[in-house]
């Protein structure tokens, strides 16, 4: 991805954002954010007061009123800028993904079989097109025929080509990627403008952005604080009159704006957008902001063993013939039974056979019938026309078959099977006409570093569950080696679903990742369902996120992005409210000091004059917003150090820091201002 940049403020984006900051001053837009809306009302009043003080006396000097007006206007603009820059960054990110797929010629396959060249924009859902080596895929779709190597670097940034093929769980192709070899026939799965990416862009842009439940709750909290300070400031007017210390409108509005939580109010929507943007940077398309938020809450993580915990697929590593069986016979039978087997295990058996220096025919005899693997029989194989019945499969299913046919099951084979399983391998037993020929050993290789990641998840309070089709013994071995908390062995699709339901019944939130069509119900059931981009359309529709990298460990990153989002909101809220302590000590003495000189002793910052004190507080209140934009966009770092330790840490930094920082900031600004006043 060449256009991807990690710089926070790119000149082009800043320019758009600056323009947007003014457009967003529109009260109708501002109304969405109650805190900043009240600031806008205050700003309007100050504009009036500036004009009033130009013509009349009694409300302070014209220049003082004007400066307060300008600072309040800047406060608004800074807040708008924060939102605009977050939007611009998100949009730029999404645009760069979208750019790859505009205006590509497509070879559309007409119902009569002819091929017509059309623009990709004209493709409709249900159309078929073909792509050959060198073509760019015009739009998202699903391969219906053929197999191809595809360069997906435009989307994922990964330069190694991937294989996509019809039927199976890796049948999806993405618009903008390039076919490197072979030829495929693809059916279009989305209408133009309705792809996940389009939906994501709409989410980032203001128009269709929905506030998430937590964002709404926080907005209510902030609006309530605002309401309290309205009460405080409105009643302060008669109180002050009663004490014979009339206060100016400028001072009252300044006090109000300083007290309401403008810092978090101004940054709130930027934080939310930045969360989705960070997800997009991690190459995850989210279908709603809520999904990102929920990700931070996940209690249980369902991970497929293959590709997540272990590298790739299990591979056949060894043929173990039964006593009295020739190695060639076993290998020959194994190859025959695997010829039509599309699973990676099946393919690896053929690979292993090719590596041996036996000469085994690699084509199936004419008229042979292939038996597909089913969860019930737990075996697959072939029936040839000359009466050969070859089956390979799980140990007990083959044994049952063999014993049922009246054959003795060799104890040597049984011992071998146990030995393989206890080493974390998977034994496949091969039988020909119900006579056991031997065992194929399949082995898993656990990804390096995965155990550390699980440890990190455990510290976050997340339970990891490995889902595997392996027998319990093998599953347990791998689970222990990788350090997952639980496993589902011999998993059928409905097992996953039941597990998710059971956890949800107990009140836990579950995340899972999947790609196959049979994962779709579970993806829909899970609170966070991440579909791989290479997965089937059904899976992508069912989940609430799509991972463009097809990286099964991505869930861990998504959880951290979700947590970061919530932490950023929480810490900035605390910071914003803690700031009020110092602001009170700056403004309140300034309000009354003229008529109650004794109040000088609570002017603990020794600010220069009442005017400079109020001005310093308002200026601090304004500039803290742009100073915190980088934090809002990048997010507060999440450290898995345990809930209490994290709370302590963030309370110290943002709570105590929020009390202290404005004392220093306001004093510094006051020193600077006192040079002019």
Partner 1 sequence: MYLQIVLLILLITAILAVAVIVGKYMAAVYKHERSPLDFLKQVEHFIFRVGGIDPQQEMTWKQYAVSLLVINGIWWILSFALLLLQGSLPLNPAGNPSMEWSLALNSSISFLTSTNLQHYSGESGATYLTQIAVFTFLQFVSAATSLAAGVAIVRGLARKASNSLGNFYSDLVLSVTRVLLPLCLLAGILLMFCGVPMNFNKPQSITTLQGDKVTVATGPVAAMLPIKEFGSNGGGFFGANDAHPFENPNVASFIIHVFMVLLLPAAFIFFLGYYINQKKFSRMIILIMCVGVVLLTIPIISQEIAGNPLQSKMGISVLSGNTEGKEVRFGSLLSSFYAGINVAIPAGTLVSMHDSYMPLSGISMLLGMQIDAFFGGVGTGWINMLVFVIIAIFMGSLMIGRTPEVFGKKITMRQIQLAMGIYIAQPLICLGLTGITIFAYNNLNAAGAAPAWFSNNSSHNFTTVLYEFTSSFAGNGSGFEGLADNNVFWNLTTAVAMMAGRFIPVLGALAIAGIMLRQRPTPYSAGTLQTDSASFGVMLFFVMVVLQVLSLFPALVLGPINEYLTQLS
Positions annotated as catalytic residues are: 304
* 3-state class (DSSP) for residue 280: helix
Let me know if 7 is exposed, middle or buried by CB neighbors in 10 A (0-12, 13-18, 19+).
Answer: exposed
User: How many CB atoms within 10 Å of residue 167?
Assistant: 11
Token look-up 């220069």 returns 608
The residue among 395 and 663 lying less far from partner 1, judged by its C-beta, is: 663
Is 317 annotated in some ligand binding site?
no
Q: What is the closest distance, in whole angstroms, from the C-beta atom of residue 190 to partner 1 in the complex?
A: 32
- Shortest spacing between CB 250 and partner 1, in angstroms: 16
Strands (E), 48-119: 105-109, 115-119
**Is residue 380 part of an annotated ligand binding site?**
yes
Report which DSSP code applies to 31.
T
293 is in an annotated binding site: no
Taking the complex as a whole, the smallest distance from the CB of residue 218 to partner 1 amounts, in Å, to 7
Exposure letters 80-90 (e unless 16+ CB within 10 A, then b): bbbbbbbbbbb
Q: Is 392 annotated as a binding residue?
A: yes
**DSSP H helical ranges for 506-609:** 520-525, 537-542, 554-592
Could you give the CA distance from residue 387 to residue 368 in angstroms, rounded to a whole number? 10
Q: Fill in the DSSP letter of residue 656.
A: I
Run of H or E including 284: strand 284-286
CA 136 to CA 354: how far, in whole Å?
35
CB-nearer residue toward partner 1: 332 or 569:
569
Structure tokens at 403: 């014993």
Tell me if 372 is assigned to a ligand binding site: no
Contact 345, 380 (CB under 8 A): no
Looking at beta carbons only, is 234 or 405 nearer to partner 1? 234
Helix (H) or strand (E) holding 463: strand 463-467
Nearer to partner 1, 539 or 577 (CB): 577
Nearer to partner 1, 83 or 297 (CB): 297
End-to-end alpha carbon distance in the chain: 53
Nearer to partner 1, 191 or 637 (CB): 637
Q: Judge whether 412 is annotated as a binding position.
A: no
Beta bridge mates, 187: 128, 142
Give, for 369, the enclosing helix (H) or strand (E): strand 369-371
Q: Which is nearer to partner 1, 108 or 509 (CB)?
A: 509
Q: Is 215 annotated as a binding residue?
A: no
- Write b or e for each residue in 597-613: b if 16 or more Cβ atoms lie within 10 A of its Cβ, otherwise e: eebeeebebebbebbbb
- 374 annotated as ligand-binding: yes
CA 356, CA 347: separation in Å to the nearest integer?
A: 15
Question: How far apart are CB 563 and partner 1 at their closest, in Å?
Answer: 3
- Least distance in angstroms from the C-beta of 257 to partner 1: 15
> In whole angstroms, how close is the CB of 622 to partner 1 at the nearest point?
20
Q: Who's near 117: CB < 8 A, 6+ residues apart? A: 105, 106, 107, 108
What are the tokens at 149? Answer: 């190597």
Task: Report CA torsion sign: 644, 649, 652, 654.
Answer: negative
Cα–Cα dist 471/552, whole Å: 22
- Least separation, in Å, of the C-beta of 87 and partner 1? 23
Q: Is 341 labelled as part of a ligand binding site?
A: yes
Binding residues, by number, are 341, 345, 373-380, 392, 515, 519
Binding residues for Mg(2+), by number, are 515, 519
């Amino acid at each position: 991805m060449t256009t991807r940049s990690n710089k926070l403020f790119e000149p082009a984006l800043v320019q758009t954002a600056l323009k947007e900051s003014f457009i967003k001053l529109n009260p109708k837009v501002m109304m969405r954010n109650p805190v900043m809306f009240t600031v806008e009302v205050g700003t309007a009043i100050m504009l009036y007061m500036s004009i009033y003080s130009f013509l009349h006396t009694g409300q302070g000097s014209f220049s003082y009123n004007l400066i307060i007006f300008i600072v309040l206007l800047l406060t608004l603009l800074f807040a708008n800028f924060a939102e605009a820059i977050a939007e611009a960054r998100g949009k730029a990110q999404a645009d760069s993904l979208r750019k790859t797929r505009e205006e590509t010629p497509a070879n559309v396959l007409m119902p009569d079989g002819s091929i017509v060249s059309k623009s990709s924009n004209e493709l409709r859902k249900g159309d078929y097109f073909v792509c050959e080596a060198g073509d760019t895929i015009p739009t998202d779709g699903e391969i219906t025929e053929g197999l191809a190597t595809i360069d997906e670097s435009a989307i994922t940034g990964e330069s190694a080509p991937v294989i996509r093929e019809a039927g199976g769980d890796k049948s999806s192709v993405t618009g903008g990627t390039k076919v490197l070899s072979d030829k495929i026939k693809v059916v279009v799965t989305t209408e133009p403008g309705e792809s996940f990416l389009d939906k994501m862009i709409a989410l980032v842009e203001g128009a269709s952005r929905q506030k998430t439940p937590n964002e709404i709750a926080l907005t209510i909290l902030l609006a309530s604080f605002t309401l309290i300070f309205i009460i405080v400031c409105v009643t302060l007017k008669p109180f002050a009159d009663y004490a014979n210390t009339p206060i100016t409108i400028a001072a009252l509005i300044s006090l109000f704006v300083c007290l309401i939580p403008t810092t978090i109010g101004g940054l709130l929507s930027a934080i939310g957008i930045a969360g989705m943007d960070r997800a997009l940077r991690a190459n995850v398309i989210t279908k709603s902001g809520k999904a990102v938020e929920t990700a931070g809450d996940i209690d249980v993580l369902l991970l497929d063993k293959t590709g997540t915990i272990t590298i790739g697929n299990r591979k056949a590593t060894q043929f173990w013939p039964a006593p009295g069986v020739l190695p060639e016979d076993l290998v020959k039978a194994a190859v025959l039974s695997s010829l039509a087997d599309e699973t990676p295990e099946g393919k690896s058996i053929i690979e292993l056979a090719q590596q041996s220096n036996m000469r085994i025919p690699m084509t199936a005899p004419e008229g042979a019938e292939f038996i597909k693997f089913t969860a019930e029989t737990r075996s697959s194989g072939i029936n040839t026309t000359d009466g050969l019945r070859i089956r390979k499969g799980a140990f007990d299913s083959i044994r049952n078959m063999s014993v049922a046919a009246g054959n003795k099951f060799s104890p040597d084979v049984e011992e071998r099977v146990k030995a393989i399983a206890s080493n974390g391998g998977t034994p496949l037993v091969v039988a020909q006409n119900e006579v056991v020929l031997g065992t194929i050993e399949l082995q898993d290789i656990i990804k390096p570093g995965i155990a550390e990641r699980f440890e990190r998840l455990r510290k976050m309070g997340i339970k990891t569950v490995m889902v595997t089709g392996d027998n319990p013994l093998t599953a347990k071995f791998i689970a222990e080696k990788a350090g997952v908390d639980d496993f589902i062995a011999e998993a059928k699709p409905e097992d996953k679903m039941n597990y998710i339901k059971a956890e949800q019944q107990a009140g836990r939130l579950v995340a899972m990742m999947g790609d196959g069509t049979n994962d779709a119900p579970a993806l829909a059931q899970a609170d966070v369902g991440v579909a791989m981009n290479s997965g089937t359309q059904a899976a992508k529709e069912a989940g609430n996120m799509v991972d463009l990298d097809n990286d099964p460990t991505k869930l861990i990153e998504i959880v951290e992005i979700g947590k970061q989002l919530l932490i950023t909101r929480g810490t900035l809220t605390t910071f914003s409210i803690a700031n009020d302590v110092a602001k009170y000590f700056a403004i309140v003495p300034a309000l009354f000091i003229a008529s109650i000189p004794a109040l000088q002793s609570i002017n603990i910052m020794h600010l220069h004059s009442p005017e400079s004190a109020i001005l310093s507080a308002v200026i601090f209140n304004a500039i803290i917003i742009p100073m915190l934009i980088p934090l809002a966009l990048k997010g507060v770092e999440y450290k898995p150090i345990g809930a209490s330790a994290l709370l302590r840490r963030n309370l110290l930094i943002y709570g105590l820091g929020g009390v202290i920082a404005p004392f220093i900031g306001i004093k510094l600004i006051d020193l600077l201002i006192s040079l002019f006043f």
